[in-house]
Amino acid sequence: MTSETLAASGGDHAEGYLPGHPTDAALLAARARSAELGCLALGPATGAALCFLATSLRARAVVEIGTGIGVSGLYLMRGMAPDGVLTSIDIEPEHHQAARRTFRDAGYPPGRTRLIMGRALEVLPRLTSGGYDLVFVDSARAEYPRYYEHGVQLLRPGGVIAFHGVTDAARGERRDPGTLAARELARSIREDERLVPALLPVGGGLLVAAVQ
């Protein structure tokens, strides 16, 4: 059995293991629409991990870099406090439109989300330093090291930053820009004395770090 098959079966098990949730129908519909936009939806195992993190942190303020079709946002809001606000950044207007539909179909009022269209590196410096519980990054990996620099500044003590899709960082034979950036990110986080890191083997690899 290949690693890809194992990952897929693990994701299926994670989806089946989770209890039912009122947003399940909206989640399935969003996954079905993701192919139309050429937008890869977050897998169930990674989504479960995000929901767990948001719940553990009792998160009320979350930043997401890479809105996509809204699947990751649904998982985050499942775990957030009922009055929590998700700030989600994406440069593609089609993604914002699709995500709004996803959140509306799931029954979340507009006040629960703040969708910002623009380049994350231009938006992040305008957000409140130390004002967020969780930062989730699922975007262009070549920019991950720079997102890390900005993202850590946004977190309160005990807050968590999470990067999706970093498994390839451990593969020394890969030399593409995204892999090199993920490798630089992993090294920087490991050496940052402010952070307590962990690499979770879910989906494409979830690199998380808590601010001490």
Asked whether the beta carbons of 61 and 88 are under 8 A apart, the reply is: no
Residue 116: what are its φ and ψ, rounded to 5°? Answer: -115, 120
Residue-level pLDDT at 90: 97
Is-contact 5 49, C-beta < 8 A? no
Averaged confidence pLDDT in the chain = 90
The answer on pLDDT for 181 being more than 50 is yes
Question: Do 42 and 206 contact (CB within 8 A), yes or no?
Answer: no
Angle at 28 between CA 22 and CA 32, to 5 degrees: 155
pLDDT of amino acid 171? 64
CATH class of the domain at 3-211: alpha beta
Tell the residue number behind the tokens 């957000």, with chain if given: 127
Instruction: Delimit the domains of the chain by residue range.
Output: 3-211
Token pair listed for 141: 């990996």
Instruction: Answer whether 71's CB lies under 8 Å from 138's CB.
Output: no
2 has pLDDT over 50: no
Q: Rounded to whole angstroms, how far apart are CA atoms 204 and 212?
A: 26
pLDDT at 21: 78
- pLDDT-wise least confident of 21-25, 74-78, 96-100, 179-183: 21-25
Phi then psi for residue 114, to 5 deg, are -130, 105
Instruction: Say if residue 37's pLDDT is above 90.
Output: no
Contact call for residues 30 and 100 (beta carbons, < 8 A): no
pLDDT over 70 (residue 147): yes
Q: Which amino acid is at 4?
A: E
Percentage of the chain modeled with pLDDT above 70: 88
- Residue 38 carries which side chain, given as an amino acid letter? G
Tens-digit pLDDT profile for residues 157-179 = 999 999 999 986 666 677 888 88
Residue 133 or 171, more confident: 133
Radius of gyration of the chain (CA): 16
